[in-house]
Amino acid sequence: IPPPKNAVLSPDAAQNPSTRDCHIADIAARGRMAWQTSSGYNQRSRGETLMGRWKAVIGPKLKARSFENQKTEAKIGVRILDRMTELGRPNFERTA
């Protein structure tokens, strides 16, 4: 989770900076978009969004009991989500 726009450094950030302090300082120095690129935040955000879609559409857990059936269930779920994403993606056509 990125720090809020009005986040401030902790009192002991100069001597013993936490990960959060490092992120806040990096955002202040280089900007939020550069921080997202350097920290890999975009990839994590996409992963979290995908898991949120999975839980909303498929459900919070797998129904199958055996591991082989769970693998099959996961593959089917991924295909369902990919198909839904494909259906929602616009088709671009050149007009000129």
How many structural domains are present in the chain? 2
SS3 37: helix
Does 7 share its domain with 31? Answer: yes
Dump pLDDT digits (tens) for 15-67.
888 888 888 888 989 998 898 888 888 888 888 888 898 999 889 999 999 99
Judge whether 33 lies within some domain. yes
Predicted local confidence at residue 83, as pLDDT: 92
Dump pLDDT digits (tens) for 67-95.
999 999 999 999 999 998 888 888 888 88
Judge whether 45 lies within some domain. no
Most confident of the ranges 1-5, 6-10, 37-41, 74-78: 74-78
Question: pTM of whole model > 0.85?
Answer: no
Does 59 share its domain with 30? Answer: no
Range of the domain at 35: 1-39
Q: What is the 3-state secondary structure (H, E, C) of 39-56?
A: HCHHHHHHHHHHHHHHHH
In degrees to the nearest 10, what's the CA dihedral of 16, 17, 19, 23? -170
Inform me whether the pLDDT recorded for 1 exceeds 90: no
